[in-house]
Amino acid sequence: AQTVTQSQPEMSVQEAETVTLSCTYDTSENNYYLFWYKQPPSRQMILVIRQEAYKQQNATENRFSVNFQKAAKSFSLKISDSQLGDTAMYFCAFMKPGNQFYFGTGTSLTVIP
């Protein structure tokens, strides 16, 4: 079974600073996908960034980037130039092709003005 672990239940960062959210996962699969989803207070699930396991290059989306370490089964999210609108719950997720998504327990991020 696949498991996703987010060891930081809560984090905070000053506005304009950089923060890194951690995620580790456990799988015996070689081909899979990893995601970070953002859930603001509205509770909508918003895709932030996606990484294919077969790609060595780390995914980036504007201020969001990942550090994907396949051997270590680590997938951290870096948010640069943090903005107040980044305040949300962040979920790391794993997906094996043709299968369901597995979510971590989430990290609550607060951006402090």
Summarize as ranges the residues that interact with another protein (CB under 8 A).
Answer: 33, 35, 37, 42-47, 50, 52, 91, 93, 95, 97-106
| Number of neighbours of residue 46 by Cβ within 10 angstroms | 11
Element (H, E) at 68: strand 64-69
- What is the nearest approach in angstroms of another protein to the Cβ of residue 41? 12
Judged by beta carbon, residue 1 or residue 71, the one nearer another protein is 1
- What is the nearest approach in angstroms of another protein to the Cβ of residue 4? 9
Q: Name residues whose C-beta falls within 8 Å of residue 65's C-beta, 6 or more positions apart in sequence.
A: 49, 58, 59, 77, 78, 80
- Give yes or no for a contact between 66 and 76, defined as CB atoms under 8 angstroms apart: yes
- What is the nearest approach in angstroms of another protein to the Cβ of residue 17? 27
